[in-house]
Structures are given as C-alpha cells and as structure tokens.
Homo-oligomer: A and B are copies of this chain.
Amino acid sequence: MISEKYISWGNAGSTIRELAAYGAERAKIVGRENVYDFTIGSPSIAPPKALLDTVSRLCAEADPTQLHAYAPAAGIESVREKIARELNESFGADYDAGDIYMTHGASSALAILCAALLSEGDEALVIAPYFPEYKTYIEQTGAVMTEVLCDLESFQMDMGAFAGKITEKTAAVIINSPNNPSGVVLSEGSISAIAAVLNKKAEEYGHPIYIIADEPYRELVYGGIEVPFIPGLYADTLYCYSFSKSVSLPGERIGYIAISKAMADYSNVKAAVYGAARALGYVCVSPLFQLAVAETLGELSDIFLYDENRTLLYDALQEMGYRCIKPDGAFYLFIKTPVSDSRAFCRKAMEKDLLLVPGDDFGCPGFARLAYCVPVERIKKSLPAFKWLAEEYGL
C-alpha cells in the first residue's frame, strides 16, 4: 500500500542537497575554506537590515499569543493587501488581497498549483534546463512531465520545438525566468511568442493551458535588464513568488501565489488553490515573517554583491577557456562541460573539492551549474582548482 513513487523519491533524494551535505562533511576534514562548494542556491548575503530589525522588534514588542497564533490559511489580510498593491503599482496588475495566497516559499506554491491544475493523464510542459523538483510536483498529481529543450546557444525559447510539444493533454507550462540554472531572463518577445502559441492551442483544444510563472529570482537581475511580467502578457498565468532569494530567507519558507482575475476560469482556479493547499497539509505561513516582509516590502538584500561575484567568476572562467552564456539574472553560471558526460566532469572536479551540479539534474546534460551566491573569497580561492580542471580537459 506504500506507493513505490514516494519510496523512490525518498531514496533518490536531491543531487544538490546530497552534494551540499558531502561538502559539509568534507569541510570537517579539510576545513571549510578548502571546500569550493558551488552547489546550493542558498543566499550568501544577509537579509536587509530593516527586515531583521522588524523581526526583532516584533519579537520584543508584539503580544506573543497574537504574533505566533494561527494566521488565516491564505495569509494575513493586511499582508496580502500590501503585496497586491505592490504588484499592481509595479506591473499595472489588478490583484486584490483575495487573489494572493501566501505559501511556504515557491516550492510549496508549485506543489499546490500542480495539485490544483493537474490530474491523472494530464501533461505539464517544462523547459530544460529546469529546477529538478518540478518533476516530483507534477508526478505527485498523476500527471506526466514533458520537456522541451531551450536553444542551447542563447538559452531563449526554441519556439518551433516548444509548439511541437503542446498537445491536447497539456494542462500547464512551467516557466522560470530568471532561470535556474542558466541565469537567463526570457525576453518579452519570447514570452509573447509563447502566449500566442498557448492561446491558439487552448482555443483549438477547448480548454485553458495555464502558465505557472516561477519567479523567485525576479529582482536578482543585473545591468538594468527588465524581467517581463508574464501575467500581463498571458491571462491564464499563475504567478509564484518567493522571499527566499530576494531577501535571503530561504529557511523561513515564505512566498505567495497571485491569481489573475483575467483568468478564464478564475473562481474555480482560486477555489482549487485554496483546496489544494489545505489538502497538502498547509495551515498558514509564519505570521512573524508575513508581517516582517510586508512591513519592509521593496527592501532587498545587497544584490550588487552577487553581480560582483558573477563578473569575477564569469571573466575568470572565460579566460581559462570555459564556455558559458553570461547570465542576466539569478545567481548561477551554467557552463558547458568540455566533455559530454557532465557527471564525469563534476566527479573529476571533486578531486579538488570543487563541487558543481551536473546539468543532467536540470534535464540538460553537457553542462554544469555553479551557484555563485558564496563568499567572494571562495571564488578567488577556487580559481586554481578551476584552472587545474580546465587543463585536465585540455581547454
């Protein structure tokens, strides 16, 4: 009666988490400063001071029976109002508090949306490279994950390939921009082209095809680039946000889903989101952190430090002969491995305690992901190991 599916997911674990755990073990042996761990996307920059001060002040001053009490399942009304207002002001959107559902970060938002929107036999399309947990959230519902590879030169959409993957069974497409692991921001042109295809196919098949926009990295962009707001370009979009990266609170699990009134089946989608969250065991998000992020909405961690890391690492790797698209956002480099077997490449790197994640885990073999949300010293100190690795492969 125990489902094999859960046993296998439990036993498989996550390569990223396992590599990070390996790194922690190695650190005990060779010293933390000698492990060049670029595996996990956990922010290295502190949360904004105003946010931390607000957390401390609430803990010191608020009535603890109120502060730590159950919050409404969908979130504290005033918090949802502030978030709706910010989205409306930033993107000309039309959300009100009732359209915002607070979640335990983007992961729980994605799991809830997959449950709400997908059923046995449906397909959900993801664009490789993609965040590996998508597969689990999709398959948990009985639906099937289908994949389409992006253009491996630009990491923008390959529109021909994309259109070819939409079938009558496609219920949703997950889009993640700025992208983990490539760091690429999908252009407005790409999004509009996707929207045109989906509108046409939805009409042809007589049912909506939802976009799930997974945007934890929205503010982590460099060089003044604009991230298109997908709900403004495609009506049937569910927008997922997380405070994990932008204000460096990944462990506290706070984010939200925004449900557009323009959706064809708005009230059913909204009810299904509420119902799915309930059925998956979500009761409420920490009122302490809800109040703190809402009070300091718009404050960000010092993102420019990631930009410095990005330039330092990108330039050094280019110089050594590695090939990689210069990312506009997030905090990852996705380098082309000099051999097609990227798992072998990452194993080789481990000989110098250089920890990278094979692209295979993101549905994109032949590449490796480097998370550069690390102390700058780690990058500087790791360069000889990258150099050694380049020489091993004759770059």
Contact = CB atoms under 8 A, between A and B. Distances in A.
A52 interface: yes
Interface stretch (A250-258, A307-315, A351-359, A381-389): A250-258
Secondary structure of the A contact surface, majority rule:
helix
Given A8-B275, A70-B250, A282 B3 contact: no
A69 B42 CA distance: 6
B59 A275 contact: no
Interface string A5-16: 111111111100
A43 interface: yes
Contact of A136 (B67, B119, B279): B279
Copies, count: 2
Interface residues of A, number: 85
A29 interface: no
B281 A104 contact: yes
Nearest to A141: B3
Nearest to A276: B6
Contacts of A171: 1
Interface stretch (A92-100, A186-194, A266-274): A266-274
B9 A108 contact: no
Chain B CB count within 10 A is highest, among A60, A171, A284, for A284
Contacts of A286: 251-253, 286
Interface of A: 1-3, 5-14, 17, 21, 40, 42-47, 52, 55-56, 59-60, 63-65, 67-73, 104-105, 107-112, 115-119, 122, 133, 136-137, 139-140, 171, 207, 248-253, 265, 268-276, 278-288
Given A1-B117, A11-B275, A105-B283, 5 more contacts: A1-B171, A3-B116, A9-B274, A10-B271, A14-B278
17 contacts: A2-B269, A3-B119, A6-B116, A13-B274, A21-B72, A40-B70, A46-B64, A65-B248, A68-B250, A105-B283, A107-B283, A111-B280, A133-B278, A139-B279, A140-B280, A251-B288, A280-B280
